[in-house]
Amino acid sequence: MQTRTQTQQPAMTTARRRPDQEAAAKATEDSQFFDAGKPPPFRIGDIRAAIPAHCWRKSPWRSLSYVARDVVVVAALAVAAAALDSWAVWPLYWAAQGTMFWALFVLGHDCGHGSFSDNGALNSVVGHLLHSFILVPYHGWRISHRTHHQNHGHIERDESWHPITEKVYRKLEQRTKKLRFTPPFPLLAFPVYLLYRSPGKSGSHFLPSSSLFSPKEHGDVVVSTTCWSIMFASLLGMACVFGPLQVLKIYGIPYLVFVMWLDLVTYLHHHGHQDLPWYRGEVLFGRLMA
Ligand SMILES: [Zn+2]
């Protein structure tokens, strides 16, 4: 069954239109040229064929050079900010370092997709180092992210930022509604999502017993949760040695900036053209497949 997130408005003909009427009229005009619900006029094989051959060749050394570059930048920023220790510098540092944490996340994301290299062990080791550093359980998130890609646009099966049914919405606790739907709280949703998944879903990215994972994936999840715990314990240890304020300034606030980047980007990924359909029930995904 196909559902539309928005209903189309009739075109307005009067000279003076309110902004919302203007937007509705524009949407109607757009939809005459583009129907987001229709299968595209190409197949996935066409897309693959259009990508130059050299783009398919993975180079582990080149991928590792990106990791080295980003790690050097992260370390240099932290050392410089700690040395300068000035309130004129800290906000700039937080913005820059938070963006670099986001860069580390993207490299770990690529490890999870196998686009980092063809070596599964290398992908796993680098992915764990990168994602554990920014408190992401590598395999837990990798597996749920795979589920997301396989079910993008499906209200029931997609992992994040999917519309929820009125029935589920009514059942949500007041606190969840507030945190999930009132800006700026959704910008800090990622750690909550890792712990509890999206509203209406159960399980956690940290628990092998979660319904997110198949039995053969339990070992992977345990490894990643252990790596996450080591990083978390290291942060607590550093807070004891250097003081919680110093850890907050060097790591904590950049971490929050990274979370905001992640939530902003993924929110925008899932809120595109207003006519883009969401599906539920049994639908044939992969209609692009050749
Ligand atoms: Zn992805």
Secondary structure letter of residue 248 according to DSSP: I
**Distance of CA 113 from the midpoint of ligand 1 (Å):** 7
Q: Is residue 239 part of a domain?
A: yes
**Distance of CA 105 from the midpoint of ligand 1 (Å):** 11
Average pLDDT for residues 165-173, to the nearest whole number? 81
**Distance of CA 108 from the midpoint of ligand 1 (Å):** 10
Distance CA 175, CA 53 (A): 50
**Distance of CA 242 from the midpoint of ligand 1 (Å):** 36
**Distance of CA 149 from the midpoint of ligand 1 (Å):** 7
Q: Is residue 17 part of a domain?
A: no
Beta carbons within 10 angstroms of residue 123's beta carbon = 24
**Distance of CA 128 from the midpoint of ligand 1 (Å):** 16
**Distance of CA 148 from the midpoint of ligand 1 (Å):** 8
**Distance of CA 147 from the midpoint of ligand 1 (Å):** 10
Distance CA 11, CA 220 (A): 54
Average pLDDT for residues 116-142, to the nearest whole number? 97
Band the pLDDT of 161: cuts 50, 70, 90.
confident
Secondary structure letter of residue 209 according to DSSP: T
**Distance of CA 65 from the midpoint of ligand 1 (Å):** 21
Q: What is the pLDDT of residue 57?
A: 92
Domain count, the chain: 1
φ/ψ bin of 164: left (φ > 0), alpha (ψ from -120 to 50), beta (otherwise): beta
Q: Is residue 210 part of a domain?
A: yes
Average pLDDT for residues 129-141, to the nearest whole number? 97
Q: Is residue 13 part of a domain?
A: no
- Residue 232 makes CB contacts below 8 A (sequence gap 6+) with 135
Q: What is the pLDDT of residue 288?
A: 42
User: With 60 as the cut, is the pLDDT of residue 61 above it?
Assistant: yes
Q: Is residue 243 part of a domain?
A: yes
Secondary structure element (H or E) that encloses residue 3, with its range: strand 2-3
Q: Is residue 285 part of a domain?
A: no
Beta carbons within 10 angstroms of residue 190's beta carbon = 21
Looking at the DSSP bridge assignments, the partners of residue 154 are 279
User: With 90 as the cut, is the pLDDT of residue 282 above it?
Assistant: no
CA torsion, ordered 156, 264, 206, 278, to nearest 10 deg? 10
Q: What is the pLDDT of residue 16?
A: 60
Q: What is the pLDDT of residue 8?
A: 39
Band the pLDDT of 131: cuts 50, 70, 90.
very high
Q: Pick the residue with more confidence: 112 or 157?
A: 112
Q: Is residue 42 part of a domain?
A: no
Distance CA 53, CA 202 (A): 42
Q: What is the pLDDT of residue 5?
A: 40
Contact 163, 278 (CB under 8 A): yes
State the chain's mean pLDDT as an integer. 85
**Distance of CA 196 from the midpoint of ligand 1 (Å):** 20
Q: What is the pLDDT of residue 7?
A: 37
**Distance of CA 268 from the midpoint of ligand 1 (Å):** 14
What pTM was computed for the model? 0.81
**Distance of CA 136 from the midpoint of ligand 1 (Å):** 15
Q: Pick the residue with more confidence: 200 or 225?
A: 225
Print the domain residue range for 235. 56-275
Q: What is the pLDDT of residue 137?
A: 97
**Distance of CA 109 from the midpoint of ligand 1 (Å):** 6
Q: Is residue 286 part of a domain?
A: no
**Distance of CA 32 from the midpoint of ligand 1 (Å):** 31
